[in-house]
Every structure is written in C-alpha cells, then in structure tokens.
Amino acid sequence: MCLVGVFRYNSQQIKQMKPSFKPSDRLNLPAYPFADLERKATALKASGKPVYNLSIGDPDLTPPRFVIEAAQKALDDPRSHLYPSSRGDYDVRCSVVKWFEGRFGVKLDPDKQVCITIGAKEGLANIARTVVNPGDTVAVPDPAYPVYGRAGCQMVDGKQVLLKLYPEHGFLPDLKSIESVKLLYLNYPNNPTGAEAPDDFLVELGKLADANPAMTLVYDMAYSEMCFDHPARSILEFTPNAIELHSLSKMACTTGYRVGFAVGNPDRIAALIRIKEEIDSGAPLPFQLALQAMLNAYRGDVPPQDILYYREVFSRRRKLIIEALEKMGFDVFNSQATFYVWFKVDDDEMPFISRALEKGVLFTPGSGFGPGGRGWVRASVTVPDDVIAAVVSAIEDL
Ligand code: PLP
C-alpha cells in the first residue's frame, strides 16, 4: 500500500495553506433548506432526545416485495454490470409506454418520447440545461419544490420569475400572468401544498403550451399516484407540447432507488438525452427493472394493492394530524393528495417551528419553499403510526 500521499503534509502545514478553492457563483445559494433541517434533527438526536421528523417527504413504508425482488434478481443479470444507457433500457421504456396508455390514455413512442431519469430530480434539473441560456426567463411557482428555482434556474444563470400560487384559488397560478417565458415549471399533485390540478385548469394550461411553442412546459407528476379520491391527470392528455416527469420514489416508497422518467415532446426528450449523454450514464439497470416491475403491476389504470395500501395509510395519518391541528385552531389547506399537510400559522411561522422543535417535532417552515410559503408550515406524514400518535400529543399545547 502506498502511504506517501497521507504523510506529505503535517497538520501545521495544512493550517498555514492559503485557501485556493473558490466555488463558482452558481453555488452562491443559501443552504438547501432541507439539508439544514436534517442537520438540526441529527443534533437533537445526538443529544439523546426523541425526534419526530415530519420535515422530509421520505416515505417510511416498505416497497412492494415484487419491486425489491426485481432489483435483487437484476443484480445477477450480466447486463447490470455494464454501463446503462443514458436514455434508459428499451424494454423498460416500452413498459413506460404501456403504463402511460393504460393510466392516462396517451400513446407514446418509446424511442422518441421516453427517457429514464435518475429520479425526477435529475430530470428536472437537466431539462433546464437543455433550454436555458444565461438571462432567459424561468417561471417558478411560489411556493414550490426548491429544485425548480435553484438547479432549474439559478444554477443555469436563468432569470427567475415567481409565479404566485394563490391559496384562495386552490394553490393554482394565474395562467394569464405568464408571458414569454423560456421555461415554466408546474407541479400537481403539489409539494408542499397537496393541491391538485382540476381539469379546467389543465385545459387552459394545454392551450397556453400550444400557443407558446418556444416555451418549455415542465409538468412534475412525482406524486401522480398519491391522490385519495380521484386519479391525477397527465398534462399530455391536454397538450403534446410539454415534458412530464414521473418517479418511482413516491409511487413505491423507494426514494433510495433513484429512478424516474421523463415523457412527452420528442424534441425536448431528445435534448434531455443529449445532456444526459454528456453528464451521466443513466439510472442503474436493477432500479430501472424495479420501476418496470411496478409499472407492469398495473392493470390498465388500476394500481396494484400496494399502492392502495400506501394511500390508505397516508390518508389516515393525514387525518390524524389535520384533526389535531384543527383542534388547535389552525387553518389547514383542504387537499386529498400527497402525504403532506399544509397549514397556516401567519406571523407565527418561525416561533411555531422553534416551539415544535423544543418538543422534538420537526416541521418544515413554509418560507423554505419561497416567499409565497411565508406564514405556512408543512408536515410530512411519512413516519410510522406510533410517531404520528406521539406528535399528536406533543403538539397539543404548542
Ligand atoms: N418533484 C417533487 C415535487 C418532489 O417533491 C420531489 C421530492 O421530494 C421530487 C420531484 C424528486 O423526486 P425523485 O426522488 O424522483 O428525484
């Protein structure tokens, strides 16, 4: 073993070295809001106190057995030992096509309209690189999942336009206010609010995309399968001029597998594949095959039992938290989707977060999702039932 490098400098010499590394301006962002919360949770845990972490949308439930087994079996497939393709395995893309037609009634071409991604996050970030030149305008909902405004805009030197989501309009934006943007991100079922997009909104959004062919509409459906009373609809049912993101993460409780897919307009998909060819080598095949197993388990638009179970558990937990919050007098946004509860605390946002933290309960401050989230708090019910019960009693007298 060569240890020369290890002993090259002593600790005194290292201290005296002038810092020479300066990150690019693109990294000049405030800390990723959830990373900061994760640090606080870790510190609390280290101090020996119980921590009830409702701040991250990372489902605690076990993935379907057949999904795990598909990934395990694939490790013995010699193809898994090689580089995957940047656009994704052909058979997996064909399963996406079959699923999409059964689920949404939209036909896709597996060669031109599907790209497997390393989770939806990677696709959302890389799409920005395909279309945004420095100074181009990127419309970002407010509040929103932070990736759109950061990786999808600031990190590609775009100019951000905040698109306010109005509580009184079910956290939908005013589409008439959108003018000549290069890239538009929208996300329903919505993180952080749990809002859903009604059909009349999707009709108008489809018309907007058709009337603005130079604009790239990115529709994020990471929570497409997490609706409790009626299924979410795809924007591709309303316009072909969009690119839509899906993910195995929330569908199968497999955030660690890092696999999802982008579908839609062939030019945008081709551009995404080009970027991915330069940057990554695609999602690992075992996890692509896990995705395939999940999609193949649908019968038309009927999901497998596991998804019905996840919906039942998350909706039951949501009800418990909502009841507790309403008893305390909080105004909770009425939603029937996602595993988030979004509630209003007005001027009390940060004091409320601190008081909850003192009791070991970690919520996400709404302002972490943009200025439009100020005065709101998000609770994620992705923790076991006994933790939900402990939270309900811990927050009683907050
Ligand atoms: N889109 C939204 C709205 C999300 O909330 C998340 C994760 O929390 C993602 C995308 C990322 O999903 P993935 O795990 O597939 O990267």
Over the stretch 189-235, which tens digit does the pLDDT of each residue have?
A: 999 999 999 999 999 999 999 999 999 999 999 999 999 999 999 99
Q: Which helix (H) or strand (E) element contains residue 391?
A: helix 385-394
Q: Is the CB of 382 under 6 A from ligand 1?
A: no
What contacts 105, CB < 8 A, 6 or more positions away? Answer: 237
Atom 5 of ligand 1, residue of closest alpha carbon: 191
Could you tell me if 118 and 258 are in contact, meaning their C-beta atoms sit under 8 angstroms apart? yes
4 C-alpha to ligand 1 centroid (Å): 43
Length of the chain (residues): 398
| Residue of 191, 221, 254, 380 to test ligand 1 pocket, by largest number of atoms within 8 Å of CB | 191
Q: Which pLDDT value is given to residue 253? A: 98
Task: Assess contact for 226 and 311: CB atoms under 8 A.
Answer: yes
Residues 239-260 pLDDT 10s: 999 999 999 999 999 999 999 9
Contact 281, 83 (CB under 8 A): yes
Both tokens assigned to 310: 């996840």
pLDDT at 4: 46
349 lines ligand 1 (CB under 6 A): no
Atom of ligand 1 nearest to the CA of 248: 15
> Among residues 120, 128, 118, 121, which one has the least CA distance to residue 86?
118
- Looking at the DSSP assignment, which residues form a beta bridge with residue 377? 343, 365
Characterise 253 by phi-psi region: left (phi > 0), alpha (psi -120 to 50), beta (else).
left
Is 187's C-beta closer than 6 angstroms to any atom of ligand 1? yes
C-alpha 249/C-alpha 109 separation (Å) is 24
CB atoms within 10 A of CB 28: 8
With a 6 A CB cut-off, is 119 part of the ligand 1 pocket? yes
Q: Give the residue among 116, 138, 146, 151 at the shortest CA–CA distance from 276.
A: 116
Strand order in the sheet with 331-332: 331-332, 340-344, 376-380, 364-365
Beta-strand ranges (E) seen in the chain are: 52-53, 114-117, 137-142, 159-164, 183-187, 216-220, 243-247, 260-264, 331-332, 340-344, 361-362, 364-365, 376-380
Provide the 10 A C-beta neighbour count for residue 376: 23
Domains and CATH numbers, the chain: 32-61+312-395 (3.90.1150.10), 65-296 (3.40.640.10)
pTM: 0.94
Of the candidates 308, 309, 335, the residue with the CA atom closest to the CA atom of residue 321: 335
Cα separation, 235 vs 229, in Å, equals: 19
255 lines ligand 1 (CB under 6 A): yes
How many Cα atoms sit within 13 Å of 252 on the Cβ side?
32
Q: Which residues pair with 52 in a beta bridge?
A: 361
d(CA 57, ligand 1 centre) in Å: 9
Nearest CA to ligand 1 atom 2: 222
Segment 382-391, tens digit of pLDDT: 999 999 999 9
Give residue 87's Cα distance to chain centre.
20
Rg (CA), the chain: 22
What is the residue-wise DSSP string for 189-207? S-TTT-----HHHHHHHHH
CB 254 within 8 A of CB 118: no
Q: pLDDT tens-digit profile of 5-53?
A: 556 677 777 777 777 888 888 888 877 666 666 777 788 888 888 999 9
- Mean pLDDT of all residues in 93-102: 98
- How does DSSP assign 54-106, residue by residue? -SS----SPPPHHHHHHHHHHTTSGGGGSPPPTT--HHHHHHHHHHHHHHH--
Distance in Å, CA 149 to ligand 1 centroid? 14
Mean pLDDT, range 169-179, rounded to an integer: 95
In angstroms, what is the span from residue 378 Cα to ligand 1's centroid? 15
pLDDT digits (tens, 9 = 90+) for 59-79: 999 999 999 999 999 999 999
The gap from C-alpha 81 to its chain's centroid, in whole angstroms, comes to: 28
User: Residue with structure tokens 């580089």?
Assistant: 83
